[in-house]
Structures are given as structure tokens and as C-alpha cells.
């Protein structure tokens, strides 16, 4: 069963729609103020033992990360899911990550998303109908046969399936350069979905393409809002999508922090806007940000342009360095933060009691083509 994000957003414990779609919402969430919450989490985790694997994305709250068996970015967690033999995989991340885990695991394994409303605004910016229409338009112009789709991990299973069906692959911020090199060895053009900034930054700063080689496809306009000549001349066709957290960092943010903290180094995620990446000292994936800051000398100063939970954790783990959030405004990934300890405890206790809750299942056909693209990513 495949559940769309729009449906997930209205799902609640015991909702009619949840019942109609076969989503089990047995039991009630323990209150966040429950003084025995951690104790209950420890007991439930112990009861599950080797039957369970808890995966925690770096952007999760500390209260959840403390129970994660493996912490990582979407790429690392996808690998962990693919390599695991655990019966139950609790994915403390967002919906598209849990979908990928279901695709990469066996039919006997169950992938559990503690809160079904944990989605991704970027992934929701590219729907299957929009992408299929885009491909039809590229066929009309005569360039589809010269184009390979590359889809960012932050996408729905339906978009991953489209990518696999058309000979493309999935990428993450860790392997985007290697992925685009692979794609351009196969075709003249790349349709990059759904994050325009990662696609543009990788193409220009890592592959040496120009900004003029990149065009922006707007799914809300006929032919993406582009002329035939623009489409034919482009090497990178970028989807009009972005991360709501990383997209908020600006050049002004960098100028302000450099003035406020002399000698600070700015490190940002490649999902940031192009001018922000250009003005930064270091750009890299979540894992690279962690490695760079952790291995830097004592006394170094860092302004980090990525999700606030991770920045706060890096500051806590590196007390010998000055670490600040690049934006003066507090900004968490609101959907990622829907996964909290009450939801995790509820999900684990439900499984212990024999009730399967919030299982993520991807349609077999969608899963089949998605797996082609995901396996290509893992091979790269």
C-alpha cells in the first residue's frame, strides 16, 4: 500500500482515512510530560531486542537520537536498511526515507514510521503527474532520448520509480558529483529532480558547467515556462523545488555572521542557494559538515548553514569550538521534528504488544522501478 503525503497530513490516530487505507493506529500516544517516558522507551527497546533496528536521521531531536542504533544522513540510513536483517525497522526520519527503506528491504521486514505526518516539503514539490507531463514535453521537443533523469533522495517513491523506469539513478548530497558524472557519460542532458539548488551547485561548482547551461523547469507552467531553444540548449534541466530550511539562508546571513564573529568559517549544505554556496568557505553534505567541524582544531569558529538540531548537537559535542547557526532566526525542519519520543515509544510498545502500526508499504510496481534507481545509486 502506498500512501501519499497529502493523505498522510490528515492522518491521525484512529482517523477514518487511516482506517480506510488500512493504516493501523492502535493505542494512544504517551504524554510528552510522562516522567517515565525514557524508562518506557528503554523497556520497549529491550523487549524488541535484535528484532528491531532504529534508524535516526541527523536532523532528529536528541530525545530520539539517544535511542538510534545508527545515526546518519539519508544515504547512510538507506545503506543500513538494505544491509539489515531486523524484522522491524523504526525509521526516525521522514516519509520518503521510510519508503526507500521498504523498497530496499525484504518482504518479511516491516518498516515503521513513528509519525505518519513526518513528510518533506521538497519531496512534495514534484508529483508523479507533473514529472510525467514534463517527460512528455521533453519528448515533444525531441530531447527525451538524450536526457537521463537524476533524482535526489529527497523524493517520493513515485518519482524514484519514474527515474528507474527511464534509466536514471538516485543521488544524495554525498554522491551528487559522481552521479552527475555517470549521467553525462550516458546522455547529453540531465533532468534533475526535485532540488534545483543541489543540481545547480553540483553542475557548476563540481562539474564546471556554467549557469547558462542550467534552466529551471516550472511544473506549473506549460513547457515548464521554457522555450524549445532553451530546452534544447540546456545541459541541466532543474526542477523548481527546494528545501524550506536550507533555502532560507542568504548572503546577508553570511555577511552578518562574519561581522559579528571575526575569523568565523562558514560551512553550508549544497541545498542552499547558489550565491550562499559561492560565498561560503566550505560546502558539503551533512556527513561532510559533521566530519569537517569535528576534525577542526580547538578554538576554531564555525557558522553552519543546515538544520538546527544538527548544529546544536555539533555545538554540544565540540565545546572547544565556537559553533553557531548561520541564520539568527531559529529554524528546525518542522516535519522531521514530528518524530518525537512519545511517538517512538508508542510505536515500539505497539509492536511489543503485537500490533503493527504505521507500516510503510510501497506499491510493488513502484517499488520495482524505484529499486532499479536505488541500486544504481548504491552501486555508484
- Domain with residue 106: its CATH number is 3.40.50.10800
pLDDT in tens, 318-356: 999 999 999 877 667 777 788 999 999 999 999 999 999
Dump the DSSP string for 129-197.
HHHHHHHHHHHHHT-GGGEEEEEESSS-HHHHHHHHHTT-EEE-TTTHHHHHHHHHHH-SEEEEES-HH
| Percent of the chain surpassing pLDDT 70 | 92
In a domain, 115, yes or no: yes
pLDDT score of 11 more than 70? no
Residue 105 and residue 15 share a domain: yes
Q: Could you give the CA distance from residue 153 to residue 86 in angstroms, rounded to a whole number?
A: 23
Q: Could you give the CA distance from residue 274 to residue 121 in angstroms, rounded to a whole number?
A: 20
CA 233 to chain centroid, in Å, comes to 30
Residue 341 and residue 320 share a domain: no
In a domain, 367, yes or no: no
Q: What's the domain range around 108?
A: 5-120+335-362
Q: What is the mean pLDDT of the chain?
A: 90
pLDDT in tens, 35-71: 899 999 999 999 999 999 999 998 898 999 999 999 9
pLDDT-derived band at 145 (thresholds 50, 70, 90) equals very high
Mean pLDDT of the region 179-196:
97
pLDDT score of 226 more than 90? yes
Mean pLDDT of the region 157-168:
97
Q: Could you give the CA distance from residue 337 to residue 284 in angstroms, rounded to a whole number?
A: 23
Residue 228 and residue 137 share a domain: yes
pLDDT-derived band at 174 (thresholds 50, 70, 90) equals confident
In a domain, 379, yes or no: no
Q: Could you give the CA distance from residue 105 to residue 74 in angstroms, rounded to a whole number?
A: 15
Residue 358 and residue 315 share a domain: no
Residue 89 and residue 12 share a domain: yes
pLDDT-derived band at 15 (thresholds 50, 70, 90) equals very low
pLDDT, residue 331, reads 67
pLDDT score of 8 more than 60? no
Residue 212 and residue 162 share a domain: yes
Winning range, highest mean pLDDT, from 75-89, 156-170, 323-337: 156-170
Amino acid at each position: 500500500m502506498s500512501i501519499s503525503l497529502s493523505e498522510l497530513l490528515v492522518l491521525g490516530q484512529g482517523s477514518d482515512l487511516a482506517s480506510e487505507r488500512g493504516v493501523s493506529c492502535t493505542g494512544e500516544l504517551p504524554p510528552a510530560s510522562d516522567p517515565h517516558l525514557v524508562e518506557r522507551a528503554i523497556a520497549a527497546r529491550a523487549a524488541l531486542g535484535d528484532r528491531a533496528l532504529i534508524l535516526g536521521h541527523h536532523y532528529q531531536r536528541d530525545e530520539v537520537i539517544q535511542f538510534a542504533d545508527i545515526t546518519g544522513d539519508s544515504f547512510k540510513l538507506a545503506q543500513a536498511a538494505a544491509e539489515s536483517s531486523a524484522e522491524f525497522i523504526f525509521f526516525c526520519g521522514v516519509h520518503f526515507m521510510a519508503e526507500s527503506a521498504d523498497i530496499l528491504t525484504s518482504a518479511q521486514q516491516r518498516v515503521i514510521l513513528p509519525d505518519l505526518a513526518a513528510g518533506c516539503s521538497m519531496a512534495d514539490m514534484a508529483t508523479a503527474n507533473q514529472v510525467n507531463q514534463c517527460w512528455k514535453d521533453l519528448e515533444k521537443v525531441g530531447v527525451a532520448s538524450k536526457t537521463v533523469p537524476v533524482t535526489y533522495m529527497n523524493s517520493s517513491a513515485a518519482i524514484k520509480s519514474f527515474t528507474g523506469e527511464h534509466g536514471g539513478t538516485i543521488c544524495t548530497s554525498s554522491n551528487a558529483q559522481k552521479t552527475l558524472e555517470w549521467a553525462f557519460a550516458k546522455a547529453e542532458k540531465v533532468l534533475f529532480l526535485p532540488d534545483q539548488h543541489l543540481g545547480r551547485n553540483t553542475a557548476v561548482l563540481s562539474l564546471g558547467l556554467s549557469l547558462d547551461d542550467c534552466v529551471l523547469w516550472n511544473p506549473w507552467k506549460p513547457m515548464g515556462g521554457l522555450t524549445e531553444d532553451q530546452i534544447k540548449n540546456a545541459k541541466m534541466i532543474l526542477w523548481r523545488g527546494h528545501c524550506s530550511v536550507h533555502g532560507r539562508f542568504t548572503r546577508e546571513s553570511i555577511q552578518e555572521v562574519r561581522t559579528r564573529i571575526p575569523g568565523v568559517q562558514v560551512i553550508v549544505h549544497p541545498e542552499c542557494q547558489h550565491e550562499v554556496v559561492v560565498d561560503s568557505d566550505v560546502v558539503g553534505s551533512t556527513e561532510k559538515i559533521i566530519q569537517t567541524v569535528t576534525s577542526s582544531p580547538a578554538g576554531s569558529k564555525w557558522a553552519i548553514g543546515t538544520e538546527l538540531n544538527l548544529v546544536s548537537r555539533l555545538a554540544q559535542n565540540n565545546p572547544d569550538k565556537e559553533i553557531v547557526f548561520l541564520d539568527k532566526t531559529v529554524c528546525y525542519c518542522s516535519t522531521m521534528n514530528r518524530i518525537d519520543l512519545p511517538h517512538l515509544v508508542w510505536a515500539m510498545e505497539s509492536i511489543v504488544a503485537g500490533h503493527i502500526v504505521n507500516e510503510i508499504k510501497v506499491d510493488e510496481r513502484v517499488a520495482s522501478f524505484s529499486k532499479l534507481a536505488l541500486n544504481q545509486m548504491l552501486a555508484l
